[in-house]
């Protein structure tokens, strides 16, 4: 049992409205910043969407910290540096705003309707929510608010779920 079309349409509209309002608000309070990335950091199982940004100078500061600390040896390879660069958990502007696209009650009702013996139905709904987030990000990239984000030449927008590795989202087919 997947989410019905009316609910999916409502969720997408809510995500676009929320993202436009919150990104505009964030940008207004950070007029002097230029960003190399914007992310939907999600936890689809709980219908959670977090908006995240980072700047190159904030990344360089974070990288210097990791490369000079106890785990310095772990942050020397190009792969490890790339992983750090796109790990929203290490960004200066992580979770600048959060939206739960379904209430706790709505989510509970949806999950209670599923068979207790077949976890694949729940996984299907989580995949559908993940897909809704990715589609909504793509739709957001077509908005005027997105166009106003001060971007580096190599700017990337992406959607990543809490259980995905950064390497999963860095393939050219996933990046926007």
- Mean pLDDT of all residues in the chain? 94
Is the C-alpha dihedral spanning 126, 145, 86, 167 positive or negative? Answer: positive
SS3 96: strand
Is the C-alpha dihedral spanning 49, 39, 147, 61 positive or negative? Answer: positive
- Residue 117 dihedral angles phi and psi, to the nearest 5°: -90, -10
Rounded Cα distance between 146 and 148, Å, is 5
Q: Please state the domain extents for the chain.
A: 5-25+35-54+92-165
Is the overall model pTM greater than 0.85, yes or no? yes
User: Of 86, 53, 80, whose CA–CA distance to 67 is shortest?
Assistant: 80
Amino acid 117: pLDDT: 81
Report the residue count for the chain: 176
- pLDDT of the chain, 176 residues: tens digit per residue: 689 999 999 999 999 999 999 999 999 999 999 999 999 999 999 999 999 999 999 999 999 999 998 989 999 999 999 999 999 999 999 999 999 999 999 999 999 988 888 789 989 999 999 999 999 999 999 999 999 999 999 999 999 998 888 988 876 554 55
Work out the number of other CB atoms within 10 angstroms of the CB of residue 168.
11
Amino acid 66: pLDDT: 97
Rounded Cα distance between 167 and 136, Å, is 21
């Amino acid at each position: 049992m997947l989410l019905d079309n009316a609910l999916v349409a409502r969720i997408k509209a809510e995500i676009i409205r929320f993202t436009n309002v919150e990104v505009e608000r964030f940008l207004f309070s950070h007029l002097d910043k230029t960003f190399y990335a914007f992310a939907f950091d999600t936890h689809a199982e709980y219908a959670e969407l977090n908006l995240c940004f980072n700047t190159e100078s904030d990344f360089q500061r974070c990288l210097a910290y990791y490369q000079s600390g106890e785990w310095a040896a772990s942050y020397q390879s190009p792969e490890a540096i790339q992983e750090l660069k796109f790990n929203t958990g290490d960004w200066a502007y992580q979770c600048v705003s959060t939206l739960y696209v379904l209430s706790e009650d709505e989510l509970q009702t949806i999950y209670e309707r599923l068979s207790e013996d077949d976890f694949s139905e729940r996984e299907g709904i989580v995949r559908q929510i993940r897909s809704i987030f990715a589609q909504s990000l793509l739709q957001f990239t077509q908005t005027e608010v997105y166009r106003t984000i001060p971007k580096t030449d190599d700017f990337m927008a992406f959607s990543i779920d809490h259980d995905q590795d950064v390497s999963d989202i860095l393939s050219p087919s996933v990046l926007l």
